[in-house]
Amino acid sequence: MIYNHLGRLCRGALILALAVCSASALAQSSLWKISKGDDYLYIGGTVHLLPPSAFPLPPEFEMAYNATDTLVLEAKMPEPTDTAAQSAMMQAMAYRDGRSLSTVLSPEVYQQVADYFAAYDVPLQQLDGYKPGFLVLQMLTLEVMKAQMAGEGVDVYFDRKAQADGKTLAYLESLDSQIQLLANMGEGYEDAFIRMNLAQFGDFKAYFSAMIDAWRAGDMTKLDELVVKPAQQLDPVLYQAMFVARNQAWLPQIQQMFANTEKELVLVGAGHLAGEHSVLALLQQAGYKVQQVH
């Protein structure tokens, strides 16, 4: 049971799963039109996990999908039956140098983790060979299930829709790069990383719901406050890898989309569109017109 949702969770960022509220009367969305002269594309902030009650999605997303030729996602999402991808993920998440959780964590933190999993009848010994990133993904799985918010997100919805419609699909990075990023979370500061995440899960459902409210309203200031700034302040190493480096790597790829005759809808985790180092901020700095879609 504990591995059932790993593939789905690994498609997105750790603390960037956002979840559910009704906001049909709100005037803004987490969708932007990016223009350069007469050329343009759309960029949407997504939620990687959503319960069924969160659908239908804001209509602006459907509008942008219907108005574009190519759907651009962060990475290609493997099918649940893709055993090769699952195997690669599990291998990357496992220690292969003689280390284990019991050797990289202090006895105090190891006991805190053991107590957490004991509440779910999961003995920590069965996870001892895996890295802290894997451990935290399992915690996230359990918290989402406990909150009854597990489900497919915006990315999966439009990926399936694009495949059914025969629409062109493109990707900003490889699945392997995402797996490696998640596998290396907490490397070198394992105790602090685990402590931060245990604290994060203290009131998970309320936090999760507050983030979805902000996402549906297109409130980037609130998302910056809830998602980006805490990551920047509490875990600057992960913030640099998860947000800054990836946003910078995506910028030239997005710029190249203005050199063709296609119209693109680019979907990335909503946290990548909030804050001072966001993709939107980088595009504005590069001279593009950035308009939030109402």
Convert the pLDDT of each residue in 229-248 to its tens digit: 988 988 899 999 999 999 99
Convert the pLDDT of each residue in 90-138 to its tens digit: 999 999 999 999 999 999 999 999 999 999 999 999 999 999 999 999 9
Report the alpha-carbon distance of residue 263 to residue 105 in Å, rounded: 49
Report the alpha-carbon distance of residue 198 to residue 271 in Å, rounded: 21
Residue 127 contacts residue 138 (beta carbons within 8 Å): yes
In order of 194, 196, 234, 270, the CA distances from 199 in angstroms are 9, 5, 11, 22
Convert the pLDDT of each residue in 139-182 to its tens digit: 988 988 888 777 788 999 999 999 999 999 999 999 899 899 99
Closest CA to 187 of 104, 82, 72: 104
- pTM for the complete prediction? 0.86
In order of 87, 160, 263, the CA distances from 168 in angstroms are 28, 12, 11
Question: Token pair of 50, please?
Answer: 């959503």
Q: Is 66 exposed, middle or buried (0-12, 13-18, 19+ CB in 10 A)?
A: exposed
Proportion of the chain in helix, strand, coil states, percent, rounded to 5: 55, 10, 35
Kind and range of the H or E run holding 179: helix 175-183
